[in-house]
Structure 1
Amino acid sequence: LNILPSTLYLHSLFLGVTGDKIIDGKEAKPHSRPYMAFLHIGKVGKICGGFLIHPNFILTAAHCQRQNINVLLGAHDFSKNEESQQVIPVEAIIPHKCFDNLTLANDIMLLKLKYRANITHAVKTIRIPKRDEDFSICKCSVAGWGYAKTNGNDNSVLREVKVRVDFLCYFFLNSPQNKYFIFQGDSGGPLACHGILNMPTAVGIVSYASKGCDDPQSIAYIRVSAYWDWIQMTIKKYSAA
């Protein structure tokens, strides 16, 4: 069995989690996840999730890349003009150089904001893990603004759902027989786990749903810690530019 350390599978505690849509999850407490970013992409209105890891940088999935991305921070209901919201255009789109649009290998991307986010009670960064951190017994969850119901109705409020981490189940992302399904809404959002000092940590990035590990509803997440060096070097490079 080939193993790709940068990709991990998780099985949801809720059958409602399908692909990258937070289906039948519960509404999140307003601003309880101040690191969450809503990405409005291009003229077609495609949306993705993301998360703030630095006042100037958003981490998300590379398959979300398009031109003309605007980032909405501090939002609970993106359909409303909330006082906590900050809208910041993206200055630089930086997908991983080895991202493969067909297999979704290395499905990770940094977005440099045109100006720094204003850190408030509703807008904060989330830490990312180093390579040696263990989250195998941690409580984790995912959140997003994707579809709320199985009938495909749009959702404008942030919703969340808990997941169980199974680090023993890996899947080789580059395998040609992969069958994956991308859904609009929650791609690029974080798999958040409580690690060191019970601090929320972005362990994974929502990538796609795929059959595997004896569970047809398995969800593939990009392992953030595998890209620690790339993330740090990229932030340093673009911060100096």
Structure 2
Amino acid sequence: MSIRWHITCLLLLRSCTPGFSTHDGIVGGKVSAPHSRPYMVYIRDKFTKQSCGGFLVREDFVMTAAHCIQSNLMVYLGAGDTKHLPAGVDVDPIPYPGFNMKRKGHDIMLLKLKTPANLNKIVSTIALPKPENEKISKDCMVMGWGWQNYDQESPSDVLKEANVTLIDSENCGTADTLCTQGSAGPAQGDSGGPLVCGGVAQGIVSFYNTKTKPYLTVYTHISHYFSWIHDHMKPTQQQYET
């Protein structure tokens, strides 16, 4: 099980190696209208060039998957075409302490921006779920710069999106996950992007199970990590109050 988890995590990462074809992204998706998803963040390691998606949740914090952690991450806010990226921002990664690359679960990470974002029409935040146990819309959307095909190296230059539908939790996995199943959805390179339901970021793209047909995509359920998120997103002065 631990080996399978490690492999499926890696399936949703991608290396921007020269020579990759650069056509479409999200499987079964369409190109997003320019700047229509201003919360989307392109994340890439400065040296390995491995990349993920993420989303801006406050002017100084990006949320993504913990398995996207690298030593020299940069975030690109308001990114559209990855061939023409804006200036990158250095970050301090804060992975959830219970995450382990060899096991399932707890696949969530905050990235603290060393230079807070200037919010505008191109760069903006997305809402997180409310603390109450509210009902989640089953009609959702995923976005990313990943591959067009699950088995074909075709990362996208431009942001793409696809509609997905939540399945019942009993057919999903652990309590801290949400799942979708179908022919459209995230592929390699889309890790860390948001599962957006009703305009709210309800989940984080984690991995997909290649044993099922159509593929089952698993997302970290954000609402299960409210306490941890709140503790790390307090204003700086509050972190030192007793």
State whether TM-score is above 0.5.
Answer: yes
Q: How does 1:56-135 map to 2 (within 5 A)?
A: 56-81=60-85, 85-90=86-91, 92-131=92-131, 132-135=133-136
Deviation at 1:40, TM superposition (A): 0.9
Picking from 57, 81, 99, the partner of 1:53 is: 57
1:72-117 deviation per Cα after TM superposition (whole angstroms, max 9, x unaligned): 0111112125xxx452111x21000100211231000000001110
The residue aligned with 1:206 is: 205
1:147 paired with 2:147, answer: yes
Q: Structure 1 unaligned runs (5+)?
A: 1-17, 175-181, 195-199
Code of the residue aligned with 1:171 in structure 2: it is: G
Please give the secondary structure, in 2, of the residue aligned with 1:29: coil
Runs of 4+ in 1 over 6 A off after TM superposition: 18-21
Deviation at 1:228, TM superposition (A): 1.2
The residue aligned with 1:193 is: 197
> Contact 2:148–2:187 (CA<8 Å) still a contact in 1?
no
Q: Structure 2 unaligned runs (5+)?
A: 1-10, 14-24, 177-185
Code of the residue aligned with 1:24 in structure 2: it is: G
Partner Cα distance (1:33, 1:206) in 2 = 16
The residue aligned with 2:182 is: none
1:35 paired with 2:28, answer: no
TM-score, normalisation: structure 2:
0.77
Picking from 217, 220, 234, the partner of 1:219 is: 217
The residue aligned with 2:161 is: 160
Partner Cα distance (1:121, 1:237) in 2 = 24
1:190-222 deviation per Cα after TM superposition (whole angstroms, max 9, x unaligned): 00111xxxxx1100000000157x655000000
Code of the residue aligned with 2:96 in structure 1: it is: H
> Contact 2:203–2:219 (CA<8 Å) still a contact in 1?
yes
Percent of aligned positions that are identical: 37
The residue aligned with 1:3 is: none
Code of the residue aligned with 2:206 in structure 1: it is: S
Code of the residue aligned with 1:120 in structure 2: it is: N
Code of the residue aligned with 2:157 in structure 1: it is: S
- The size of the alignment, in residue pairs, is 206
Please give the secondary structure, in 1, of the residue aligned with 2:234: helix
1:171 paired with 2:173, answer: yes
Please give the secondary structure, in 2, of the residue aligned with 1:22: coil
Please give the secondary structure, in 1, of the residue aligned with 2:196: strand
> Contact 1:86–1:117 (CA<8 Å) still a contact in 2?
no
Partner Cα distance (2:153, 2:197) in 1 = 28
Deviation at 1:171, TM superposition (A): 1.1
Please give the secondary structure, in 2, of the residue aligned with 1:152: strand
